[in-house]
Amino acid sequence: MSECAHSLFISDLHLCDSRPQISRLFFDFLETRARSAEALYILGDLFESWVGDDEDTALSRSVVGALRRLSDSGVAVYLMHGNRDFFLAQQFADASGARLLADPTLLDLYGQPTLLMHGDTLCTDDRSYLAFRAQVRDPAWQTGFLAQPLAVRRTMAQQARSQSEHAKQEKTAAIMDVNHQAVIEILREYAYPRLIHGHTHRPARHVLEVDGHASERWVLQDWYDSGGYLHCDAAGCSAHPLTCPEPDPH
């Protein structure tokens, strides 16, 4: 299956210094499985947080270098914003060789219309999150945020993450999942494509019928404790888990 033309999809890696095993898994994935693909699509939340393209940490430099090597090898790399890394911008894209994707993006994937999303806008029952999303996506708010020193932005991001984790404890699992009617409406709007998204951390394949049309919805694996990717070619899509490599004893 890997010998035919195919593309790979990942999301919700949440790369950070506190989970080095996931970073190692990601770098191994880029050097092995991703090298045989036509394209790699990263559908949001590559990083646990990203407060501007002036980020300059050992991890960010390693990620940029690894993506650039993949891109230079001939694999097209596409990057969509998530709810944690929406400040990734053209400077990062230019350095890594990635191309930024709008959310949503519709493409012809080996003859199958396929809609790509991060997935957070489908969670319409989580009204407090959508209000927060609208605030931080406002251009005036972003301009003010990016005008702050890098250290201040990092502190603000840490505070926002802590508040988010606290808020999640007050919410039911259903509220944080996609709204079925929102899924129906987006599929109807884009003429019943296959849908691929992340965000919810509930990996699965769903088959549903909308207005007499069969549609497929793939939810991507998160990379908190392990990882995974979606392999798509002309025959369809299949999900594949990844296991973290054993730590180097030295």
127 is in an annotated binding site: no
Q: Which residues of 27-61 are buried (b: 16+ CB within 10 A; e: fewer)?
A: bbbbeebbeebebbbbbbbbbbbbbbbebeeeebe
**DSSP helix/strand/coil, 38:** coil
Min mean pLDDT across 72-76, 157-161, 242-246 is at 242-246
Domains detected in the chain: 6-243 (3.60.21.10)
201 is in an annotated binding site: yes
Sign of the torsion angle spanned by Cα atoms 18, 24, 81, 69: positive
pLDDT tens sequence across 109-141: 999 999 999 999 999 999 999 999 999 999 999
**C-alpha to C-alpha distance for 89 and 100, rounded to whole angstroms:** 8
164 is in an annotated binding site: yes
Kind and range of the H or E run holding 155 = helix 150-168
Report which of residues 30 and 2 the model is more confident about: 30
**pTM assigned to the model:** 0.95
pLDDT greater than 90 at residue 175: no
179 is in an annotated binding site: no
Axis-axis angle for helices 150-168, 139-146 (nearest 10): 130
Strand blocks (E) in the chain:
6-10, 39-43, 76-80, 98-101, 105-109, 112-116, 194-197, 204-210, 213-219, 227-233, 236-242
168 is in an annotated binding site: yes
171 is in an annotated binding site: yes
84 is in an annotated binding site: yes
126 is in an annotated binding site: yes
162 is in an annotated binding site: no
pLDDT tens sequence across 16-39: 999 999 999 999 999 999 999 999
118 is in an annotated binding site: yes
**C-alpha to C-alpha distance for 23 and 159, rounded to whole angstroms:** 23
**C-alpha to C-alpha distance for 1 and 8, rounded to whole angstroms:** 13
Mean pLDDT of the chain: 95
> What average pLDDT does range 91-105 have in this prediction?
98
The residues, ordered by sequence, that sit 6+ positions from 106 with a Cβ below 8 Å of its Cβ are 113, 114, 115, 116, 190, 193
